[in-house]
Amino acid sequence: MAVDRVQLGLYDAGMHDLSEIFQTGLQHHQAGRLSQAEQLYRQILQTNPGHAMALHSLGTIAHQKGNFAAAATLIAKAIAISPDVPQFYNTIAASYNAAGTFQKALSACRKAISLKPDYAKAYNNMGIALLSTGQYEQAAATLEKAVSLNPGLVEAHNNLAVALYHQNLYDRAIDVCNKALKIKPDYAEAYNTLASVFRMQGQYEEAIENYRKTIALKPDYTQAHLNLGLVLLSTGQFEEGWKQYLWRRSPELETYPHRYQIPCWDGCPITGKRLLIHYEQGFGDTIQFVRYLPMVKALGPTITVEVRRPLLELLRNFDGIDQLVEASVSTPPAGNFDFYVPLLTLPKIFGTSLDTIPADVPYIRADASKSHCWRKKPADSFFKVGLVWAATTRTLSDSLILRERSCDLQHFAPLLEIAGVKLYSLQKGPPAEQARSLLSEFCIEDLGAECEDFADTAAVIENLDLVISADTATLHLAGAMAKPVWGLLPFTADWRWLINRPDSPWYPTMTLFRQSKPGQWKDVIESVAKQLHARVQKQ
């Protein structure tokens, strides 16, 4: 966070005797010598604990060091002493944004703007808070105001491009990124945003080029490395893609709650060693990559596998697992392990290429007794189709990432007109609740409500003729069980589905239906309905 030279003046007329110390501290601060600046600010506070500017400046340093709670506390003290300084509210808003307390950030920005109506940086911070809460139209309008007030504020240009990106206004986003790069040609963040826009347009070579420019300018840019890895994997460039994908393990991304002091297994000899393999990301990721566990077991270790509760019964007797444990966010798995490894790092360790994907299916099977219990549920005289239309999200961050993958139940109306087909909902979570009345109206039987975990879902799938699913864990489960399964994919699909393919090398029994343009599900469902009708007629 840059120190604002204009606003950092002395507001207490009684502090002239400390002004020289403060100005020296400010010079150190602006030059990046944070320790020297902090020492001088604290020296001022020893003489006068009510020196608002020293408190604010200490808060700024705490923010720069990543201690956002301490920053907010210090700046709040400065505000209590000098409540009419707009810079204080803008700085505390930045700390609130960084800490994820966006409503507090919005409130602080409004106060800053009320004190200084032309405060471009406060509009920018407000735009960040609006972006982070999914209010993209409001964010774009706010950030337009920021750049109109200060056309040279490159951060606001980049944030505006992000707001436009989330509204699928890609051409405008590209234009705004280019404006930012004219102002600051070495602005890595703008290249990263530009690359992401190209990726969403399906211009993968342009995306790769701009992610590489980002990394050349800022070699430690975690998100750019990860983004590059995702595009490389999407385009089948697995060797470099797996390497870049390791950046997901950076602490700032928090894809897994625990850190270990033991070595991370890198493929070294492991016979007789004790290995912890832990889950990461979603349920579908676990289902997709447990296929590697027998390969690991063949190398001779004792394997403990950690998964979240809904997968425990499904994987209870899975080949290659010596001990299966339930994941806990607060407590890491107990045991004296020699190595650990994230589940999604196994493809890199085994040097997986498109030609060597371990695709022998089924590698997950439904429990026979559960399958027998569910057999009476689906009607035998119909062609039985299970439906999942939306990814289930747990956080706002999830919802922003997964919203493109999901469609609405109404989109499936054409399937209701196909004679001989009976539809069953396997949907879980809030989307199922939101569509409960529509299920009854469409005469779709809701089996998802009766499934307590993925073992139940597998038993249901075993008794169906076909599963049709958006990009969800159920799509992976049906593929892992070698059931006929049709995947409904957004225009820019997740990396694992590659590009321009109607099939999946990960799941041989899967057929993929892709959007022809962003947000367009109508053509996808029409194609599904046409092929489903032909399949039922043939059967």
CA distance 441 to 222: 47
Question: Could you read off the pLDDT of 108-158 as tens digits, one per residue?
Answer: 999 999 999 999 999 999 999 999 999 999 999 999 999 999 999 999 999
Domains of the chain from N-terminus onward: 13-247 (1.25.40.10), 274-349 (3.40.50), 368-538 (3.40.50.2000)
* Residue partners of 408: CB distance under 8 A and separation at least 6: 389, 390, 435, 521
Conformational region of residue 211, where left means phi above 0, alpha means psi within -120 to 50, and beta covers everything else: alpha
CA distance 188 to 325: 42
Positive or negative, the CA dihedral 180, 117, 134, 66 is: positive
- What whole-number percentage of the chain has pLDDT above 70? 94
Task: Tell which residue, 456, 449, 417, has the closest CA to residue 433.
Answer: 449
Amino acid at position 12, single letter? D
* Residue partners of 41: CB distance under 8 A and separation at least 6: 22, 25, 54, 57, 58, 61
Task: Tell which residue, 241, 163, 242, has the closest CA to residue 204.
Answer: 241
Q: Is cis: bond before 362, omega within 30 of 0? A: yes
CA distance 110 to 96: 13
pLDDT score, position 435: 82
Task: Tell which residue, 361, 354, 350, 376, has the closest CA to residue 481.
Answer: 361
SS3 of 16, please? Answer: helix
pLDDT score of 469 more than 60? yes
Over residues 76-91, the mean pLDDT reads 96
Question: What pTM value is reported for the model?
Answer: 0.89
Q: Enumerate the β-bridge partners of residue 422.
A: 384
Q: Give the pairing type, strands 323-326 and 339-342.
A: unpaired
Residue 148: how many CA atoms within 13 Å on its side-chain side?
Answer: 9
Question: Could you read off the pLDDT of 4-52 as tens digits, one per residue?
Answer: 543 333 334 344 467 888 889 889 999 999 999 999 999 999 989 999 9
Joined together, the tokens standing for residue 312 give 């425990």
